[in-house]
Structure 1
Amino acid sequence: MPMKETQDATNLTELIHTMERMERENAQVSVDDVVHAVGRRSFGPLLLLAGLITLAPIIGDIPGMPTLMAVLVLLTSSQLLVGRETFWLPKWLLKRSLSRQKFDKALHYMQKPAKWVDGLLGVRLAWMTGYIGIRVTAFACLLVALAMPPMEFIPFSANGAGLALTLFGLGLVARDGLMLALGFLLTGVTFTVVVMSLI
């Protein structure tokens, strides 16, 4: 049976609302809390989440956060490619956390742009979000994840990777093949910039 790639959330605003409804008993928000909220079978939302965290100034600027998100994307992408239906993540990754205050502030920061982004989404080139398209996307995300750790030392390149992951996540969540196409294009541009910076 193919892995389920869609959750109740069909756009960015709905994903943010899903995270806002998380339990608020603790002062910290762990990776496990977020993964539990979006679902362990949800490749699109997890990609979108990793991209947004990498992009968000409040969270993404925390040292090591892009690398942490790269590990999350690397593990989920590779497991999707080998056919797993539920993602396994190590305890050390699930236990990583940040303050509830920073998490809530980041969600609030993303609400207005989310409404604008959702207005751009539509079911287009839906064949790109099918079985083969999802796995091609997973392979591209795996390459992005492998490149993200050194990107922390190249100005703005991690932002390009975060935006590419966000586009991939949006494309899968909304079944918008155009967003996937833009993600592939941005991935190519980002890799070109990184290679040129290293030469």
Structure 2
Amino acid sequence: MRKVDHDTRRAEVAGAAAKLIAKKGLEALTTRALAKELKCSIGVLSHYFSSKEEIVIAAFRWADQRIDLRMQEAITNEEQNIGSFVPVIKAGLPLDEESDLEWRVRLNLHTFALTHADSLEAERDKNNQFRELMVIMIANMQAIDQIRRDISARDITSIAFDLVNGMAKNLLMCPFDEREAKAEYLFRLIDVLKGPAAA
């Protein structure tokens, strides 16, 4: 079997596992349930993954990578101005069915990672890398007076991360048609960060 086929099939299994976790919780993810979802045998699953834990970790990475990719695209595609914060924040929130699924899996990951040291370390490393991207973006905007300079780029990044993570968890409990309105105050807070060139 070619490696590309093997990797594609692993990604399919990870995606199906993520959807099961999002809909029914981590405890519902069994190899039997997953095999049924994929219409394959348990033996086929064991060809791609050596254990249930390996499947769980792959499912979490599948969801995390999709959220991170959307946020990274929002960062790199936007001009360096204060308005570019809005799409970055929106990219990190569960405002549609796709991002809702990913966030439900991500929340399960946080609980799982607390009792699995390797996953916890990987999660920390990934978050630190993404924070560094944000710090650079904010520092660049401070240099051209788009963002006020009396708060450090690192502090602004930490505030943004904490607000988005907390808001994402709260939004999961709301109907879809209420989520944009409930997140609106985050976008209004951006005005507080405006520098002289953006005021």
Structure with the larger RCO, 1 or 2 (CA within 8 Å, 6+ apart): 1
Q: Decide which structure has greater helix share.
A: 2
Asked if these proteins are the same fold (TM beyond 0.5), I'd say no
State which structure, 1 or 2, has the greater radius of gyration over its C-alpha atoms. Answer: 2
What's the TM-score once normalised by structure 2's chain length?
0.31
After TM superposition, the score normalised by the length of structure 1 is 0.31
